[in-house]
Amino acid sequence: MKKSLASTILLIAALTGAQAETLRIGVDLTYPPYNYLDKANQPAGFDVELIKLIGKRTGSDVSFLDTRFENLILGVSGNQFNVIASTLYVTPTRAKQIDYVPYMKTGVSIAVSASRGQGFAKPEELCGKRVGSIKGAAWIPELEKLNQTVCAGNPIDSREFPTSPEVTQAVMSGGVDAQLENSAVLADAAEKLKGRLKITSTEQLYPVIVGFGVKKGNEPLATFLREALAKLDGDADYEGLFAKYGVAKSSEAEFRAAIAQ
């Protein structure tokens, strides 16, 4: 009997891996298809499904706190939640504020109103134009670099909005000339707007690594997440998520390159 009980305990430990955590997730739920509220007003999307899968496989409790993107780093640093799972791009600046656990890679596209008639294939064509982005977006410094080089004398008018849907609304109303946004987010918006929003960039711009964020120095939680992701590699549900949303897993080398830029 004792031997049987011990075997059962060992089996549970092997299945769940590290000791279960309470995962309190900060996420901006205005960012489909990665993070949004579904028709039942419940959190949904790639990041939400991924963190729920981690919770399920590790026996961890998961809760979500809807938080605007610009406040996510402040929130995790102030213990309002303990994990950011919100398509958070890896940048050297952010890596000084939080610790990352990378899990995917993606990129950026340009979109305009279909009624505009003129599109932009690459960022260098945005000189002198009003360009909308979600506040705190990782590519905004890249636009600032263009203003110091190819757009000097005719700078990009970079405008920031609290949420991505507000940027799209500004594009559709003529408040800005173009929107820069994650490629999957723009594809989702274009589909919902039935052709009224048009993606005009011809390739994925500013390829980036995406990671979970934890409070600087919270190595136990970062290690827990890294080990959980490693154990999921090859899991049918895990691999299916990446296929479903059309994103790719990131490598350690790509992450190191991203924080060293």
Q: Residue type for 239, please? A: E
Query: In whole angstroms, what separates CA 150 from the centre of its chain?
Result: 29
The class of domain 2-106+208-260 in CATH terms is: alpha beta
Do the domains 2-106+208-260 and 107-206 sit in the same CATH topology, yes or no?
yes
Tens digit of each residue's pLDDT, the chain (261 residues): 444 444 333 434 444 445 688 999 999 999 999 999 999 999 999 999 999 999 999 999 999 999 999 999 999 999 999 999 999 999 999 999 999 999 999 999 999 999 987 899 999 999 999 999 999 999 999 999 999 999 999 999 999 999 999 999 999 999 999 999 999 999 999 999 999 999 999 888 998 999 999 999 999 999 999 999 999 999 999 999 999 988 899 999 999 999 987
The H or E element that residue 255 is part of is helix 252-260
Domain boundaries, given as residue ranges, for the chain: 2-106+208-260, 107-206
50 Cβ contact list (under 8 Å, min separation 6): 85, 103, 238, 241
Q: What is the pTM of this model?
A: 0.81
Q: What's residue 5's pLDDT?
A: 42
In angstroms, the CA 254 to CA 45 distance is 24
> What amino acid is encoded at 63 in this protein?
S
Q: What is the CATH number of domain 107-206?
A: 3.40.190.10
How big is the chain, counted in residues? 261
Backbone angles phi, psi at 104, to 5 degrees: -160, 170
* Residue where the block lists tokens 């000189």: 127
Give yes or no for a contact between 242 and 248, defined as CB atoms under 8 angstroms apart: yes
143/110 Cα distance (integer angstroms):
13
Report pLDDT for 118.
80
